[in-house]
Structure 1
């Protein structure tokens, strides 16, 4: 259950996000995630009361072929491997904030998914270094459930296990309509059992660019016996976007924008969490306050018995 108050207007969104992971033998895996929601928001234009809209769609539906320890072949609709937020932080039971970063649409082709094929895996993996990669091609599709643009790109990341530090770069080339290049960089630092973790991304497109930085804080270490204090998780995110030329297709703000997000989350046992946040957005088009809350419950179960 998500609520968002943006500039004084409050929206209520009950949402269900089912996920399926179905192994077919030792080398094939079917993965899918869907979103089912209703959105209740003010009618606007001075009219009293609320109106609503419904949405049902797939985030991805893909078949993975586990070729070997260094390569997985993916076919179908998959999350576009640009940056880190799209693949790692969009699940509602993981993200610290209810809203995506302002730069989310840069490089992910707005929808966040692609339809085609992808190769991904670990090129090098030792005790001191790990290098992973992902390369893809997406076809143009106007299907309501499998909508995508013709594009190609990939991502590579270097991970240092001892420091738990990751540095990566992404590239995307739009191959239809107005051809455009998108470049991304990311830096994550998540020390083992540390009180502070840091994530960041930068994305650059033809008409705009921007970045976000996020830190989460833990009041106690994971091994602390005080489970009440261990559940609290303050989070801070700073974002900036810069508009170089007008473009309504990239979904970024029409003017340079600064935004500070402050959140206080609580993680209960048994996969329950509460997210709360306050954001202040500054732009020449107007400043605004944004309040958001989310109550999330995650549960898992086997769909059939294993042999």
Structure 2
């Protein structure tokens, strides 16, 4: 037993050495396998990098080729641009912007009217109003409008509505010289063309034979100045002025090419326009009236007639979107001042009417509202319809007595806008005359108007 213990003690270190050797050998074998695996992996990666390098080189070559192609195309394009520029250089210097330009505008209309009573229904030939505009550079423009109409007898009449030179003195001032539409009120200057007028006829007292001047010959300063949310507009005119007509209640308010006296008319219109499209205006006119002396049909001497003429008026308008709302008022009076018989002045005291001339007054107004149905419906056809209603009164007095032309007028209609400047108007007009001696009448109107 003692010998066995000695053997175990002697063999123990040997067993320990062998065990240690086996462990180290195993570890060496595992380390070699790992290294081989890593080497193989690195070799694969290196091989992949070579492939990437080849692809990168190919991309570089392709990029260089494309850059060369782009450079060539840019050079070709530059050469073409230079050649075109060289070709256009000479014509550009010769073909400068023209100094003069011209433009044709205007309007025309035709219609039908049926009148109650003994009047006959009739087709209306209408009128043709071409307007010409010629502008020289940016400082002067000539404009003129002709009115070509067919009379009741089938003849053709041509009249000059206006013919004027406009000198553009400043952004806020234009000098107008010649025959121009009267700036008094709004209707005559802005609304009387048939394609703009909402009704087939004009308001009572605002057309021929009414109280509103239609035109004058002279000069006018006009323009506009912005002030915050407002624009202040002005039209100040000096002209030959109106004349006395054949009757006591008649004035000739058209522009005359020659003045029959030394009195010039002075007047115009001032207005404020808000950015909301609301406009309020005030008009004034002061003139002298004169009718030369002559001989009546019965052989009696007709003395010259002279009078002072004063007119004032106000207007308001709102036109925005589907709405068009307007109202105007005019009040005028002629006051006799003297009579001249055989060039001698005769002042009659305490009697009405010098030289047989009586004091006369003209008062007229209207209110109008129109509404496009596009404001209530997205339907394209329905949106082209526009109902309109207008009411006005016209009173003429001679020595405080009404004359036969005094009336109250109603207009109710429906407009169809076939195009922005083409309108078909259908309406009923009721004229109630203030004197019982004149019968009332109803007019059924149809009109087609075209603005161009």
Shorter-chain TM-score range: 0.7 to 0.9
Structure 2, unaligned stretches of length 5 or more?
1-109, 244-253, 291-306, 334-360
Q: Which has the higher helix share?
A: 2
Change (3 A) 1:280 1:270: closer
Paired position in structure 2 for 1:187: 316
Deviation at 1:21, TM superposition (A): 1.7
Paired position in structure 2 for 1:217: 371
Paired position in structure 1 for 2:395: 242
Deviation at 1:153, TM superposition (A): 0.7
Deviation at 1:294, TM superposition (A): 1.3
Paired position in structure 2 for 1:228: 381
2:195 to 83, 88, 93: 93
Note if contact 1:272-1:296 (Cα within 8 Å) is conserved in structure 2.
Answer: yes
Root-mean-square deviation (CA, aligned residues, Å) is 2.5
Paired position in structure 1 for 2:343: none
Deviation at 1:230, TM superposition (A): 1.5
Change (3 A) 1:21 1:66: same
1:14 to 126, 130, 134: 126
Deviation at 1:135, TM superposition (A): 0.6
CA distance in 1, matches of 2:379, 2:390: 27
Partner secondary structure for residue 199 of structure 2: coil
Note if contact 2:430-2:441 (Cα within 8 Å) is conserved in structure 1.
Answer: yes
CA distance in 2, matches of 1:282, 1:141: 28
Matched, 1:139 2:240: yes
TM-score by length of 2: 0.57
Note if contact 2:368-2:389 (Cα within 8 Å) is conserved in structure 1.
Answer: yes
CA distance in 1, matches of 2:112, 2:151: 10
Deviation at 1:127, TM superposition (A): 4.8
Using CA pairs below 8 Å that are at least 6 residues apart, which structure has the higher relative contact order? 1
Structure 1, unaligned stretches of length 5 or more?
41-50, 300-307
Paired position in structure 2 for 1:37: 149
Partner secondary structure for residue 82 of structure 1: coil
Q: Which segment is superposed worse, 266-275 or 129-138?
A: 266-275
CA distance in 2, matches of 1:27, 1:242: 44
CA distance in 2, matches of 1:197, 1:217: 6
Paired position in structure 2 for 1:302: none
Note if contact 2:204-2:407 (Cα within 8 Å) is conserved in structure 1.
Answer: no
Structure whose alpha-carbon radius of gyration is higher = 2
Deviation at 1:140, TM superposition (A): 6.0
Note if contact 1:238-1:260 (Cα within 8 Å) is conserved in structure 2.
Answer: yes
Q: Which segment is superposed worse, 279-288 or 60-69?
A: 279-288
Deviation at 1:226, TM superposition (A): 2.5
CA distance in 2, matches of 1:295, 1:255: 28
Mapping of 1:1-307 within 5 angstroms? 1-7=110-116, 8-11=119-122, 12-40=124-152, 51-104=153-206, 105-108=210-213, 112-122=214-224, 124-139=225-240, 147=256, 150-162=264-276, 164-177=277-290, 178-190=307-319, 192-193=320-321, 195-206=322-333, 207-221=361-375, 225-245=378-398, 254=404, 256-269=406-419, 271-283=421-433, 284=435, 285-299=438-452
Note if contact 1:236-1:261 (Cα within 8 Å) is conserved in structure 2.
Answer: yes
Deviations 1:11-46 (A, max 9, x none): 422321101122111111111111111134xxxxxx
Partner secondary structure for residue 220 of structure 1: helix
Note if contact 1:208-1:245 (Cα within 8 Å) is conserved in structure 2.
Answer: no
Partner secondary structure for residue 17 of structure 1: strand
Note if contact 1:186-1:201 (Cα within 8 Å) is conserved in structure 2.
Answer: yes
Note if contact 2:235-2:270 (Cα within 8 Å) is conserved in structure 1.
Answer: yes
Deviation at 1:77, TM superposition (A): 0.5
TM-score by length of 1: 0.82
- Matched residue count: 276
Deviation at 1:253, TM superposition (A): 6.2
Q: Which segment is superposed worse, 202-211 or 6-15?
A: 6-15
